[in-house]
Amino acid sequence: MATYGLIEYEQASPEVRAVYDDIMATRQIDWINNFWKAIAHDPATLRRTWESLKQIMRPGALDPLTKEIIYLAISATNGCGYCIASHTAAARKAGMTPEMFGELMAVAGMANETNRLVAGYQVEIDERFKT
């Protein structure tokens, strides 16, 4: 449903359309997913979120696939259904194989497990890890 509905391209203001156009051009696609249409009710958030995402997800010291994999692992940790669905699609498009997905989920599950063992057992940081 989305709290205030979705803003389709046709009904969008020039400001919102400019962001939609840049999303489609950057990603080389011809449609906009619901996330952007939902937050378009707040053009400042739409623009800032897109500009940040574009800057963060582009190739750098980490390649785009690794970045999508991190995004997916965190979305699973936070239990965000939409984010898992959309970033699974994005990661596959960037080259994620089923084997990679299996391994990333195994790491994500294990990290969530040991994070709690550490907390529950009240483990203190080893001197060697302090830098």
- Measured from the Cβ of residue 98, the count of other Cβ atoms closer than 10 Å reads 8
Residue closer to a second copy, measured from CB, 15 or 116: 116
The nearest distance, CB 21 to a second copy, in angstroms, is: 19
d(CA 84, CA 63): 19
Min. distance of Cβ 12 from a second copy in angstroms?
15
50 closest CA partner among 62, 36, 38: 36
Is residue 83 within 8 Å of residue 73, measured between CB atoms? Answer: no
Query: Smallest gap, in angstroms, from Cβ of residue 85 to a second copy?
Result: 4
Q: Which is nearer to a second copy, 21 or 103 (CB)?
A: 103
Residues 27, 33: Cα–Cα separation, whole Å? 12
Measured from the CB of residue 50, what is the shortest distance to a second copy in angstroms?
A: 11
Question: Please, which residue, 26 or 45, has the CB nearer to a second copy?
Answer: 45
Cα(38)–Cα(7) distance, integer angstroms: 7
Nearer to a second copy, 14 or 81 (CB): 81
Rg of the chain taking only CA atoms, in angstroms? 18
